[in-house]
Chain A
Amino acid sequence: MSVDNLSPSDVAALRAKRPALPSRTKKSISFVLTFLICFATWIVLSGRFDLFHIGLGVIACSIVSSLSGTILISRRGFEQMPRQWLQFILYIPWLLYQILLANLQVTYLVFHPRMLELIDPRIIRFKSRLKKPMSLFIFANSITLTPGTITVYVSITGEYTVHVINEQAGNSLPGEMQERVARLMGE
């Protein structure tokens, strides 16, 4: 579960992967991006366009993005950001389709009169080949949203514990979704 499991060579490899961009440029880019996202949310939520409300929004968004700009947009792996976001946008429709399938399956189970004979809940474990924490997180949430599976526990080294509702649902893991998440995060 902890970062201590990483060997010294892993840490050295992670250090070497840091991009060559100077840190101040990166900081300002992440500041501007966070500011834009915050401000778009502000405009949608406030819905007023007079000077006072826009000014309040600019002040609040500046404070928030100067304090936490590096959380949303991390400094590592900066060069591949635009490609990653494009991949993420492409990933969402497929995920929605999977969620729809999951819902139809669970609805079928719910309305089935002999439901107790169809389900066979169990807890399975498997090892994923994903490495980055962000892709582990996305994969875990995607598992929870798709047919008959809920993530119980994830370790940082990629061991998943999953509760499945019946055996067929467990057989499809890790499967296609892991490949898609791996492509999404560029692993």
Chain B
Amino acid sequence: MMDSFFLYAGIYLCLIMLLSLYRAVFGPTVLDRMIGVNAIGSKTTALLILIGIIYQRVDMFVDIALAYACLNFIAVLAASRYFQKIKGLYDESH
């Protein structure tokens, strides 16, 4: 019974990630896309541990989740450092 609960929680998390993916794909500015990608990344961290619980290998998946959290942070930091050099991030909706 707990297994199916975790399975449905994982599926629900994937659906929520689709909502964030909308912002990452159609976001009017580059920074909106970055917010969407960051949100997907932090949900993936939770999803990885859920997968670990479903397959009963939490001890292995927790390391992957830790590395993924670090990578997500570094990616956002690097991308925003890169984009702040570009003056006048243009708004694509105009």
Chain A residues near B (Cβ < 8 Å): 45, 47
Contact = CB atoms under 8 A, between A and B. Distances in A.
B59 interface: yes
B52 to A, nearest CB: 14
A97 B63 CA distance: 29
Interface of B: 59, 63, 66
Contacts of B59: 47
Contacts of B63: 45
Do most interface residues of chain B lie in helix, strand or loop, or is the interface mixed?
A: helix
A53 to B, nearest CB: 14
Contacts of A47: 59
A94 B38 CA distance: 27
A47 B60 CA distance: 11
Nearest to B66: A45
B67 to A, nearest CB: 11
Nearest to B59: A47
A47 B63 CA distance: 11
B5 to A, nearest CB: 23
B1 to A, nearest CB: 29
B31 to A, nearest CB: 13
A45 B60 CA distance: 11
A152 to B, nearest CB: 13
A45 B65 CA distance: 12
A36 to B, nearest CB: 21
A166 B66 CA distance: 35
